[in-house]
């Protein structure tokens, strides 16, 4: 799934629940004041002839003054028109060309909205380019700093610390903070606000959901979907099938390893959140508890999952695992490979008695601080985020795949809350939280670097290293990464 404005200074950190970015100072857009019109002078009455005097012809010299002033006014007006035509004066007629870097959507899906915007703004041309995700972030930063980058670009919700040099703040004249906060979910407010400014407009929202094979649950005599981790603990043994030698044939759930679980870091992040922990204090009791829960599904004597199974998504496609936890976009992969699979989607399991939470992973549209047309770029993004245009984009996406990107607007939640694929996303959206442990962002930076430490921690426990010792080593590496990107606990 897919430099004419004043530039904000470097981001400065502001406290956030899970990770912090550095704050960006940005000036409010300058409003041009228009001088008030000057009122006409009062007319001067001509002297009256004495009563009874015979009429005398008198030349009205004011009529010549009137013609002279009128001619000057006409000349000035024509001069202004000529100057504006030559030098591009007048915002309404200025030709603007915007370049838009996307990642997941083909141009054919975006073009109808671009054309609609063009109809309403004939002077604005938007060129959409679908980029490849590999090395995208590095290319975006490097080209932007050399003034060869896009005006508008897509970035992951966890990337702000990595792209702070190139992002521009959303002007309040385009969308005031109050409107942003009423329009989008709280997770976007936490992820995208630095200081007093927001640094992007989300056109979608997504995060982890629980996906299960309904046929496998029925065969095991399970009639209702799991909603808590207690439910998971109860049903996974019933869903797991082994041969006489103890070899795993069908797994109850794909959790416990790093080598063959497509979103192992996201799942560990979910458990860390639900256990009250965070990356900054990952070596705490909350962190070791999360790692223990993650690993126990693959450890003896349970052995509900192991390294010999196919990669989790493929195992689900082949109906070799009953339950996986993944972002909703993986449903597209599954349905494309196995259209007949009877799958269901529900929110991730909760901890009994604790507030619900799930790990978010979504993409945001931003504007480059190096763009010469920042205001026009933000206007276009606001246009895309409007209710009717967001629903139009979803309709276009749904024509070529089972569903479009889940709506980021709170007021569109009722539209998808009962959707068989995206209802779970929308129901969890108010409770999403972010952490830079998201797989498949291809950032070669913050996420991927931290994920590597988590992978090493998980693997070391398979060699007998304690949970606490494994996370102590991970904590040292994560601290260095936080320092690298200017993140404070």
Q: Is 447 left (phi over 0), alpha (psi -120 to 50) or beta?
A: alpha
End-to-end CA distance of the chain: 31
Residues in the chain: 489
Put simply, whether the predicted model's pTM sits higher than 0.75 gets the answer yes
Does residue 304 register a pLDDT over 70? yes
| CB distance 198 to 177 below 8 Å | yes
325 vs 361: CA distance, rounded Å: 13
404 vs 422: CA distance, rounded Å: 9
231 vs 238: CA distance, rounded Å: 11
The helix-helix angle for 285-296 and 467-484 (nearest 10°) equals 120
Domains and CATH numbers, the chain: 91-206+362-413 (3.40.190.10), 208-359+445-484 (3.40.190.10)
- Among the residue ranges 77-81, 111-115, 364-368, the one predicted with the least confidence is 77-81
Alpha helices in 251-317 (DSSP H): 264-274, 285-296, 312-317
Does residue 57 register a pLDDT over 50? no
E strand or H helix at 48: none
Does residue 375 register a pLDDT over 80? yes
| CB distance 429 to 205 below 8 Å | yes
148 vs 137: CA distance, rounded Å: 14
Q: What is the pLDDT of residues 435-485, one digit of tens each?
A: 999 999 999 999 999 999 999 999 999 999 999 999 999 999 999 999 999
> Which pLDDT score is estimated for 455?
98
| CB distance 266 to 359 below 8 Å | yes
Does residue 54 register a pLDDT over 50? no
384 vs 364: CA distance, rounded Å: 12
| CB distance 261 to 314 below 8 Å | no
Q: 3-state DSSP helix/strand/coil percent for the chain, to nearest 5?
A: 40, 15, 45
User: Minimal CA–CA distance to 324: which of 336, 314, 337, 338?
Assistant: 314
DSSP per-residue codes, 140-197:
HHHHHHTT-S-SEEEEETT-GGGSTTTB-PPPTTTS-HHHHHHHB-HHHHHHHEETTE
Cis amide bond preceding 301, omega within 30 = yes
Mean pLDDT of the chain: 87
**How many CB atoms are located within 10 Å of the residue 486 CB?**
17
How many angstroms separate the Cα of 439 from the Cα of each of 317, 343, 473?
20, 23, 21
């Amino acid at each position: 799934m897919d430099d004419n404005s004043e530039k904000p200074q470097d981001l400065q950190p502001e406290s956030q629940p899970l990770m912090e970015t550095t704050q960006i100072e940005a000036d409010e857009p300058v409003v041009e004041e228009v001088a008030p019109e000057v009122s006409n002078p009062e007319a001067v009455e001509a002297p009256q002839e004495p009563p009874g005097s015979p009429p005398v012809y008198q030349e009205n010299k004011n009529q010549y003054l009137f013609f002279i002033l009128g001619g000057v006014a006409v000349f000035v007006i024509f001069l202004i028109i000529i100057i504006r035509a030559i030098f591009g004066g007048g915002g309404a007629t200025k030709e603007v060309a915007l370049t838009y870097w996307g990642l997941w959507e083909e141009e054919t899906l975006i073009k109808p909205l671009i054309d609609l915007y063009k109809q309403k703004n004939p002077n604005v041309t938007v060129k959409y380019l679908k980029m490849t995700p590999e090395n995208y972030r590095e290319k975006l930063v490097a080209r932007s700093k050399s003034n060869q980058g896009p005006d508008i670009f897509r970035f992951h919700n966890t990337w702000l610390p990595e792209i702070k040099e190139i992002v521009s703040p959303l002007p309040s004249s385009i969308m005031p903070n109050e409107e942003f906060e009423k329009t989008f979910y709280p997770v976007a407010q936490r992820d995208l606000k630095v200081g007093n400014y927001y640094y992007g407009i989300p056109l979608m929202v997504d995060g982890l959901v629980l996906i299960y094979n309904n046929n496998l649950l029925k065969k095991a005599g399970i009639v209702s979907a799991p909603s808590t981790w207690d439910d998971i603990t109860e049903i996974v043994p019933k869903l797991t099938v082994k041969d006489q030698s103890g070899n795993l044939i069908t797994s109850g759930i794909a959790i416990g390893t790093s080598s063959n679980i497509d979103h192992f870091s996201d799942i560990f992040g979910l458990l860390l959140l639900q256990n009250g922990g965070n990356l900054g204090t990952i070596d705490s009791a909350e962190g070791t508890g999360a790692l223990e829960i993650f690993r126990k599904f693959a450890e003896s004597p349970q052995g509900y999952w192991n390294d010999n199974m196919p990669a989790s998504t493929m195992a689900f496609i082949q109906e070799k695992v009953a339950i996986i936890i993944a972002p909703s976009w993986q449903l597209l992969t599954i349905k494309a490979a196995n259209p007949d699979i009877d799958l269901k989607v529900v929110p991730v399991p909760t901890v009994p008695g604790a507030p619900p939470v799930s790990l978010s992973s979504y993409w945001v549209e931003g504007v480059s601080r190096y763009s010469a047309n920042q205001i026009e770029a933000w206007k276009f993004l606001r246009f895309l985020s409007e209710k009717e245009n967001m629903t139009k984009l979803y309709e276009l996406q749904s024509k070529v795949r089972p569903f479009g990107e889940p709506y980021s607007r709170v007021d569109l939640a009722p539209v998808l809350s009962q959707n068989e694929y995206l209802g779970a996303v929308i129901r969890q959206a108010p409770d999403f939280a972010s952490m830079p442990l998201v797989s498949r962002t291809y950032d070669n930076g913050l996420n991927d670097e931290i994920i590597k430490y988590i992978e090493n921690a998980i693997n070391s426990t398979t060699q007998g290293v304690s949970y606490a010792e494994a996370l102590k080593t991970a904590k040292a590496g994560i601290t260095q990464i936080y320092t690298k990107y200017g993140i404070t606990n």
